[in-house]
Amino acid sequence: MSQAIVSPSEFLPFGMYLEAEENAEERHEYVDGRVFAMAGASEAHEIVALNLASAINIHLKGSPCRTFKGDMKLRIEIQGRELVYYPDIMVTCDPGDNLPLFKQRPKLLIEVMSDYKTDHIEKLLAYQQIDTLEEYLVVDQDPEQRRAWLYRRETGWRQENGATEDRITLSCIGFEIELKAVYV
């Protein structure tokens, strides 16, 4: 996230955030009443995110699941705090998760990141609180690195190599792709 666009001491109710976000020229994440402008994505980031989202979307065609890339909000409530993020890729399969402006019950979340060590901790901790989330994949945007890390609920959210034998396998949606295909 980048700097707050309102004073950190100012509180913006969630409804006002949603209303302002509909007409905003740039996207903003929402953390317990504070609003943060999001930085633009690099070319490498967009290539990885679009390749993954497209392949997943094609794989899920005809299923009750929906794939969202980058512009659908994810609302999380944790201990009375409201958070809104824009995951790079989100898959929802719950027919009750049908609000048009945001989703709350994803099955899979994917983030494409430039700096794994600093970028993912906040979201990992928040995402683990979503009871429907089965897998969280973090993919390095650097085509020279070609790395991915996977967290699965069934393994107690332990970090795993997300691309064993140069393949990404997402069990929760029965999806597999060669790691190199994500970067071309």
Tokens of 110: 């994917």
117 or 63, greater pLDDT: 63
What pLDDT digit, counting tens, does each position of 29-65 carry?
Answer: 998 898 888 888 899 999 999 999 999 999 999 999 9
Count CA atoms closer than 13 A to 61's CA, side-chain side: 6
pLDDT above 90 coverage of the chain, percent: 70
Q: What percent of the chain has pLDDT over 70?
A: 92
Cα(82)–Cα(84) distance, integer angstroms: 7
User: When comparing pLDDT for 136 and 79, which is higher?
Assistant: 136
Amino acid letter, residue 44: A
How many angstroms from the chain centroid is the CA of residue 153?
16
pLDDT of residue 3: 40
Distance CA 48, CA 110 (A): 11
Chain segment 101-114, per-residue pLDDT in tens: 999 999 999 999 97
